[in-house]
Amino acid sequence: GAVVSQHPSWVICKSGTSVKIECRSLDFQATTMFWYRQFPKQSLMLMATSNEGSKATYEQGVEKDKFLINHASLTLSTLTVTSAHPEDSSFYICSANPGQAFSTDTQYFGPGTRLTVL
């Protein structure tokens, strides 16, 4: 149990275009999902907390107009990188928290999406 998928697993796009990344919890419902960014050989940087049916909460320094998050259902959250630039190239990872449904009350992670902006 506690499987989280991400799509696509990798994407290459031109500068100025927008890219959408999907995060799905496959076998549980998640009222809260999280989006992280990870640079090479570094830890995870939390970008935002995605809450089903309400606006996302962004961490300090993360541009909400740049990184649009939608949590339309209890199993799907999307991150759209708008007007992408090369500095947005990174590894984006989502996670989902099943709450008290699982004893660990922790986050389960997707496999990540490698974004390369040319």
Partner 1 sequence: GEDVEQSLFLSVREGDSSVINCTYTDSSSTYLYWYKQEPGAGLQLLTYIFSNMDMKQDQRLTVLLNKKDKHLSLRIADTQTGDSAIYFCAAPRGSSNTGKLIFGQGTTLQVKP
Q: Which residues bind partner 1 (CB under 8 A)?
A: 2, 4, 6, 32, 34, 42-44, 46, 49, 93, 95, 97, 99, 104-112, 114
**Least distance between partner 1 and beta carbon 82 (Å):** 23
Tell me how far apart the terminal alpha carbons of the chain are, to the nearest angstrom: 37
CA distance 100 to 102: 5
Q: Which neighbouring-strand residues pair with 5?
A: 24
Strand pairing class (113-117; 90-97)? antiparallel
Cβ closest to partner 1, residue 31 vs residue 82: 31
Cβ closest to partner 1, residue 13 vs residue 45: 45
Cβ closest to partner 1, residue 17 vs residue 26: 26
**Least distance between partner 1 and beta carbon 101 (Å):** 13
**Least distance between partner 1 and beta carbon 18 (Å):** 23
Residue 99: phi and psi, rounded to 5, are 65, -140
**Least distance between partner 1 and beta carbon 16 (Å):** 27
CA distance 95 to 50: 10
